Structure 1
């Protein structure tokens, strides 16, 4: 049985986003004739140990990278503190990985979270067959829409500046990109960034969003036309998610059209601003803000809606889009970053980003189009459902198991045999 060392800073069961991604990779790989040793933060130790202690995932061994208390205090301080915490963790994880390798002799090393190309990974230092990704990070929020960040634009600007600096001073970035046996990126923005360092080498592209089979409906969801068009927006109320842009566009929709926007989400820096948005744009009778709901409860809202709305200004590869398409919802979104790749013309409408007035107007016209074309929007929902079937986590991870891992190991074994042969001839 091959032994894989998995670097997953973020790894928590029953979570979404990066935490869920790390856990999904660790568990799925371990169920496919691989002995997986996962390096992660100590945050999820109680939940993970309980699951492993109950006998689940016998081929998964989790190693918690412990950091000094003073380092942990930096984690939620600000974006620089978070980056410092991550890089310190990476360095500590690398030292622990060297100790573990002496005992277990890993066949390959795979970095999965954080999925940031600039933050990189120090796992290249093990000098083992190394897979880096999928990673994103090449995307930037459009400056001409910076007002939607409010007071947090300075933080977004700082993120971009620090990310640029890290490309030059963080060896975890340029060494991982330059030396990885397989570099896997998740969107075109990151591909272009990686290509600057690896202009002559192949770079794999695999979207880092996926669905569990348990979440995916067995049959397409029927969304029968009604007199009211039901829009859905879900997510954390973060500045970059630009909920205000959605509400602003709603205010520009023809008043004669019966429409209702449901907002699912109650956590995030912009939560206290939501009532002000609703009042300012005069859409009190067109918005239903339900607040935070559980991951399972959100399914009900997918089932009861007609169109999914997504106006994030910076996203690597949004999970919500796949979830919406799994429930046969057409999507209205911006022609930016990962959403521009997941949503094509058969699955929804993408609005170009030129300036604020144009974006708001085009989003409003997209809503009106969805209202006036029920047959076409249901066809888009069907196409989305069929696409979602191809984006199941097990299928994505099998690409690593069946294609990428064997190719990397075969390359290493060939090199090893060649080296031994040269030594014999020299002797």
Structure 2
């Protein structure tokens, strides 16, 4: 494994081993970076014992933690106020550390949202920001289908996202970065013009080939020992695992699935997850008179979720905006053909060889094409097998931890090239 003799200050508001979302991103990237350089990770002390005990023995000489706590008073008002204030504190912590230690670069990892640019980008050493998201807009055609309050909130968010790149403070901080890494092409399209070619796209998540739970399901698929398979009927099983919120777009999936049932018999949909949209989803299933074809099972332990996905024939992922989705990657690793919208993180993860990528146009046309995509896979077992095999191949060869580590090494090499900073 290539190693670079440099010291990197990595900054993460969220960092926690074994977690998903931002805490998982913080942990996974700092571990991969520590395999290839010396890392001092700046974060809050709330998980101090967990963090320090989880560091692999072989990395304990190369990964240390520098703690910078946030304001509990501000957290009671809003976690966003807490984060903004923490950025100020983290900047001071990093600046003080740089004054008396050799530091070759500062890398702000989490939170990864462009709405709150990283203050540490203005430090005197090379700085990296990302992977950063937040530039993905909810299409207006889909906003119109949402409840009034949600529509107002997401419309306001869209306006904020569009206006942020024009704000002076944002432009000043972003232009100070040595490199900006965007999670999706949409976000890179907003940030790229501000940094003059110093931006690129890289997903924040990667497939963990060492996952014992996932490996168990892969083995069960190979041996035919998955208990969930015996529970299924002869119908083609479509599975969706997602948080039930408006942006996850599961109500759209229910409508598309109803159209698919009208085209061909023998389909069944299982939706795993919970959230504020559950009531509307139940009502829509009743309104469309498809109760016997749809199972809403709520939340399940991760191992049971993977059992359900492994036992299915098609994985439907209707989200409107995503970065690197863990659930999508898990389904692909299990060899499931995907039906998803061709935008946001889905566009970065999936290819036409492994997924039915549906272009977002008008709501009615997108709905029709999504239904047709389900039907095409449901009626063609060879196509399902081909796309499922390629889905597994894409995850294992392009979106794995090893390739993520190689990317981190390349970024560090580029960011610190020619640097020879001494102690102040």
> Do Structure 1 and Structure 2 share a fold, with TM-score over 0.5?
yes
Structure 2 residue 93 is matched with structure 1 residue 85: no
Q: How far apart, in 2, do the equivalents of 1:213 and 1:103 lie?
A: 39
What is the 5 A alignment of 1:207-286? 207-215=203-211, 217=215, 221=221, 227-255=234-262, 256-266=264-274, 268-286=275-293
What is the 5 A alignment of 1:127-166? 127-150=124-147, 151-166=149-164
Q: How far apart, in 1, do the equivalents of 2:67 and 2:279 lie?
A: 36
Structure 2 residue 412 is matched with structure 1 residue 409: no
CA contact (8 A) 1:220 1:328 kept: no
- The TM-score normalised by the length of structure 1 is 0.86
- How many residue pairs get aligned? The number is 403
Secondary structure, aligned partner of 1:90: helix
Structure 2 residue 37 is matched with structure 1 residue 41: no
Structure 2 residue 18 is matched with structure 1 residue 14: yes
Unmatched 5+ residue regions in structure 2? none
- The TM-score normalised by the length of structure 2 is 0.87
Structure 2 residue 329 is matched with structure 1 residue 322: yes
Deviation at residue 100 of structure 1 after TM alignment: 2.3
Q: How far apart, in 2, do the equivalents of 1:303 and 1:195 lie?
A: 39
Give the structure 1 partner of residue 70 of structure 2.
67
Secondary structure, aligned partner of 2:24: helix
Match for 1:109 among 106, 127, 143? Answer: 106
Which deviates further from its counterpart, 122-131 or 156-165? 156-165
Secondary structure, aligned partner of 2:352: coil
Deviation at residue 277 of structure 1 after TM alignment: 2.7
Q: How far apart, in 2, do the equivalents of 1:106 and 1:295 lie?
A: 40
Give the structure 1 partner of residue 91 of structure 2.
94
Which deviates further from its counterpart, 292-301 or 342-351? 292-301
Which deviates further from its counterpart, 311-320 or 90-99? 311-320
CA contact (8 A) 1:147 1:153 kept: yes
Secondary structure, aligned partner of 1:262: strand
1:233-269 CA-to-partner distances (Å, cap 9, x unmatched) read: 1121222001101111111123451111111112x32
Match for 1:384 among 371, 383, 391? Answer: 391
Give the structure 2 partner of residue 423 of structure 1.
none
Secondary structure, aligned partner of 1:309: strand
Deviation at residue 305 of structure 1 after TM alignment: 0.9
Secondary structure, aligned partner of 1:293: coil
Give the structure 2 partner of residue 121 of structure 1.
118
CA contact (8 A) 1:250 1:283 kept: no
Cα pair distance change 1:246/1:42, threshold 3 Å? farther
Higher relative contact order (CA 8 A, sep 6+): 2
Deviation at residue 386 of structure 1 after TM alignment: 0.6
Structure 2 residue 406 is matched with structure 1 residue 398: yes
Task: Kindly report the root-mean-square deviation, in angstroms, between the aligned alpha carbons of the 2 structures.
Answer: 2.6
Deviation at residue 395 of structure 1 after TM alignment: 1.9
Give the structure 2 partner of residue 180 of structure 1.
177
Q: How far apart, in 2, do the equivalents of 1:138 and 1:260 lie?
A: 35
Cα pair distance change 1:220/1:293, threshold 3 Å? closer
Cα pair distance change 1:294/1:2, threshold 3 Å? farther
Match for 1:348 among 355, 362, 366? Answer: 355
Cα pair distance change 1:137/1:249, threshold 3 Å? same
Cα pair distance change 1:177/1:344, threshold 3 Å? same
Q: How far apart, in 2, do the equivalents of 1:66 and 1:254 lie?
A: 53
Q: How far apart, in 2, do the equivalents of 1:257 and 1:387 lie?
A: 31
Secondary structure, aligned partner of 1:263: strand
Q: How far apart, in 1, do the equivalents of 2:301 and 2:15 lie?
A: 19
CA contact (8 A) 1:315 1:338 kept: yes
Unmatched 5+ residue regions in structure 1? 77-81, 418-427
Q: How far apart, in 2, do the equivalents of 1:100 and 1:23 lie?
A: 21
Secondary structure, aligned partner of 1:245: helix
CA contact (8 A) 1:264 1:291 kept: yes
Q: How far apart, in 1, do the equivalents of 2:180 and 2:134 lie?
A: 14
CA contact (8 A) 1:249 1:364 kept: yes
